Amino acid sequence: MINTHFPPRDQIPTINLYMDQLLEYLDQFLASEKRSNDEIALTKTMINNYVKSKMVVPPDRKKYNQESIIDLLIIHHYKRAFSIQDTGNLLQLMKLDNDYYSAFRNRHETLINTLPEIAFESLDTNTAKELLLQLAEEVAIKKQLTEQLLDFIKASSI
């Protein structure tokens, strides 16, 4: 069902990429997350805004390094559920760990492996509706708890 598996660090380009190369790499990698063919994962404007807000390190001579690519993958993943500010705070918190990307990948894979397999072709509408409502409520409650934890950690760090 969830088919996005983040690549190990050694499979992420180590050569610095120009913006167009970066967008092409991210679009290819994130293609499986698109809900429609015309959906764009990340744009130049989005990336420039992440750089301006210091969520992503600025490019060196217009080239983005591996850390920037990793951070953009993580930002894209979290921006679906959280505000940009909360996404930035999450990323900042994650970066306290030297190997934050591996820890992120491990958490992601562990959670994916605990999800039940759903056969959509044999799923009836009533069951799908009930599952949808249950998952939506679970997401809403977990999002609220996540925001409260972010606020608690931020207040504790002052």
Whole-structure pTM value = 0.88
Pick one of 3.30.450, 1.10.600, 3.40.50, 1.10.1660 as the CATH number of 1-115: 1.10.1660
The whole-number pLDDT of residue 158 equals: 67
Average pLDDT estimate for 10-31: 94
Q: What is the pLDDT of residues 42-60, one digit of tens each?
A: 999 999 999 999 999 999 9
What residue segments make up the domains of the chain, in order of their start?
A: 1-115, 118-158
What is the full DSSP assignment across the chain? -----PPPGGGS--S-EEHHHHHHHHHHHGGGG-SSTT--S--HHHHHHHHHTTSSPPPBTTEE-HHHHHHHHHHHHHHTTS-HHHHHHHHHHHTTSTTHHHHHHHHHHHHHHHSPP--GGG--HHHHHHHHHHHHHHHHHHHHHHHHHHHHHHHHT-
Is residue 2's pLDDT more than 70? no
Is residue 98's pLDDT more than 70? yes
| Mean model confidence pLDDT for the chain | 92
Is residue 90's pLDDT more than 60? yes
